[in-house]
Amino acid sequence: MHSIYPLLTGILVAGSLLHAGETQVINDGFLARVRSEAARAHPSAIAGKHKADAASHDVRSVRLWNDPMIDFGYMEAEEMMQMDDGDIMLGIEQALPKPGMFDAERRKMEAMSRAENENARSSALTAGADAARSAIELALTDEWIDLQQSQITWLAAMAENARQMAADPMGSSADALRMSVELEKEQQMLDAARRSREGYAQKLNLILGRSLDSPWPVLKLPVVPPPVPLAKAEIARIPHANPKVRAMREMVGAANAETRIADRERLPEIAVGIDTKIYSDTRDVRSTTFGIKMSLPWFNDHSYQAKIDAAKSRELAAGDEVEKMRREMAMMVLSAATEAANAAAQARAYSGKIHENTRQAAQATEAAWISSKAPLSALLDSSRALFTVRLEQRRMIAMQLAALEELQTLVPNH
């Protein structure tokens, strides 16, 4: 499962705002369009489609009849013998299909074709999820830039208050200088973030196959966390929805057909043929022979049986591999669902009482500082605390969306 922790560690890196007047909320419709575009344009998804197409051609390549064999010969002998027996020999031989062999080979190819289709679907889902996560990451940086800009606006107002307080004969210029430094530091962080946002946008453009400089509007995360599916219900959907598990189930069918093929190979191979002798001068047919040929597989029965046993063992192993994959997917679903639920709970908490109490504390500290009843350090600490709570709420929304994206990849809804 793709970890979302790099999403959080890189949050303080953002880029220049494009089309500032436009805003696009990261909702289901937007993410569906991003996934669809990535599934059409990403090389891994395109390669998966080509492999699926090749597998469908393999189905049509299965032959019921082997190519016929044609014999030609010339007898060098006395003319009388050539006239009596014929000097040109022509023959054609056709091997007959072994009972059940064609059906078994076709079933194997059809199962492998369905497996490749599931693998192609898995590649498309992975490409779409990568694009969606990059869009969520880009939206989170835009949210941070917005919060940072509000923080700078507030710091500028407080710096002006500090300068006015320093102009008082009883005032001190220390707070004004400190606020100037703080304002410059925050501005530098915002400038660096804006310069770096291009990297996030370019990353998304690369995944989508767009030009690197394709612009993106300001992206916004949802205000409240979306609902989280129940882990138990999602785990129950794995055998029917997860493309990797479905592909492995098809490979069990292919292994079963392979066992059938090995069993059919031990049957005798029968071929029918016609041989004709012709005298070249008069083109008269001197004789025609109809014949049947049959292989004797019983001398190698132990080898055929070993091949059957090996195919049966691979079939059993394929069945166990399906269950192994299902359990692995179940653990990943459980982890993603739990992560999404935890992030949603924290997002609601940070937007509720925690935010309100922190906001009131910041307002009270600001009023106390303006009336010279609180030090500047307390003002800055309360402001940073409020900023952190607001940013943390946005982070939790992004974490939940990223976890839900993982769920969408593991148990897609379509």
One DSSP character per residue, 351-411 reads TTHHHHHHHHHHHHHHHHHHTTSS-HHHHHHHHHHHHHHHHHHHHHHHHHHHHHHHHHHHS
Q: What is the pLDDT of residue 274?
A: 93
What Å distances lie between residue 2 and 209, 399, 406, CA to CA? 21, 12, 7
Contact 71, 87 (CB under 8 A): no
Contact 401, 140 (CB under 8 A): no
Tokens of 25: 């909320």
Q: What is the pLDDT of residue 170?
A: 58
**Per-position pLDDT tens, the chain of length 414:** 344 333 333 333 333 333 334 789 999 999 999 999 999 999 999 999 999 999 999 999 999 888 999 998 888 877 788 777 778 889 999 999 999 999 999 999 999 999 999 999 999 999 999 999 999 999 999 999 999 999 999 999 998 888 888 776 655 678 888 888 989 999 988 887 787 788 899 999 999 999 999 999 999 999 999 999 999 999 999 999 999 999 999 999 999 999 999 999 999 999 999 999 887 778 888 888 899 999 899 999 999 999 999 999 999 999 999 999 999 999 999 999 999 999 999 999 999 999 999 999 999 999 998 888 889 999 999 999 999 999 999 999 999 999 999 999 999 986
- B/e letters for 305-315, b = 16+ CB within 10 Å, e = fewer, are eebbeebbebb
Q: What is the DSSP string of 85-118?
A: H-SEEEEEEEEPPPTTHHHHHHHHHHHHHHHHHH
Find the angle CA(241)-CA(247)-CA(250) to the nearest 5 degrees.
115
Contact 152, 77 (CB under 8 A): no
The domain ranges of the chain are 5-410
Q: What is the pLDDT of residue 106?
A: 95
Q: Residue 275: how many CA atoms within 13 Å on its side-chain side? A: 13
Contact 253, 106 (CB under 8 A): no
Angle between helices 174-208 and 376-410 (to 10 degrees): 10
Q: What is the identity of the amino acid at 204?
A: L
Between CA 316 and CA 323 the distance in angstroms is 11
Q: What is the pLDDT of residue 81?
A: 80
Q: What is the pLDDT of residue 15?
A: 34
Third-level CATH fold of 5-410: Outer membrane efflux proteins (OEP) (1.20.1600)
What Å distances lie between residue 379 and 93, 148, 152, 155, 160, CA to CA? 98, 17, 14, 10, 14
Q: What is the pLDDT of residue 169?
A: 60
Q: What is the pLDDT of residue 49?
A: 94
Angle between helices 376-410 and 231-241 (to 10 degrees): 40
